[in-house]
Amino acid sequence: MEVIQIKIDIGILPQSYVSDEPESGGYFPFAIDGEKSYLYDISFANQKDEKEVEDFVAKWMQSLDKFPIYIFFECFDFHQKEIEEECKSKSIEYTEFKWGESDFLIKVKVKNIDQFNIVFPYVYANGSMNNFACLSLEEDVFTIGIRDFKSIWGENEMIETPIIKLNENSSVFWVNYDGDSMVVISKDKRYSLLSLVIKTLPKETHYTVIEFGE
């Protein structure tokens, strides 16, 4: 069987990119409680194939082996029944939350790589449509609440938003805008250096280290 070698760019995301408040079109369009100690961007933009990305992320999660993985994502209502049926047929734990007029948020607990492979295509597809899509290793860090949110026009308003609470060893992975990358947000010292993150990548990954300007 041919081994698919995905090409990625990986780099440290400067803290200067990060706003202290949720920001539409910024880093990040959701609330984060707790220090964002380590930030990395894993980009697929130069060679983005949906199936290759899904395969890469699945192999990465299998390599990390930090199950259960908690997944929280925004989804259009026309996917709702399909996702519910998939979860029920595979005994995957999930909870749904109404979100806006025609969307919903779903929180899923996957206990193994087989369950992850069922759910992640929905997660990446919705993240690629700029819906909120995020996963957390080993712990449920996701809630919903009201926060001061900066709009794309620079105005602030109090709105309901997903909230991530970073604990001592939390690591979460956010599907970035258009699915062009995944951003790692971590407080876990095991990921305190870029070289440590690179060591966790699947063996067949071809990577280029990039630098972000301040």
pTM of the model: 0.93
Task: Report yes or no on 55 lying in a domain.
Answer: yes
Task: Report yes or no on 2 lying in a domain.
Answer: no
Task: Report yes or no on 115 lying in a domain.
Answer: yes
Q: SS3 for 2?
A: coil
The number of folded domains in the chain is 1
H/E element, 125: helix 113-128
C-alpha closest to that of 42 among 138, 133, 176:
176
Query: Are 128 and 75 in contact, with CB atoms under 8 Å apart?
Result: no
**Range(s) of the domain holding residue 202:** 7-209
Span 130-154, mean pLDDT? Answer: 93
Task: Report yes or no on 1 lying in a domain.
Answer: no
- Residue 134 β-bridge partners: 72, 174
Task: Report yes or no on 133 lying in a domain.
Answer: yes
Task: Report yes or no on 47 lying in a domain.
Answer: yes
Over residues 174-184, the pLDDT tens digits come to: 999 999 999 99
pLDDT for 22 beyond 60: yes
Over residues 28-54, the pLDDT tens digits come to: 999 999 989 999 999 987 767 899 999
Task: Report yes or no on 195 lying in a domain.
Answer: yes
Task: Report yes or no on 60 lying in a domain.
Answer: yes
Span 176-201, mean pLDDT? Answer: 96
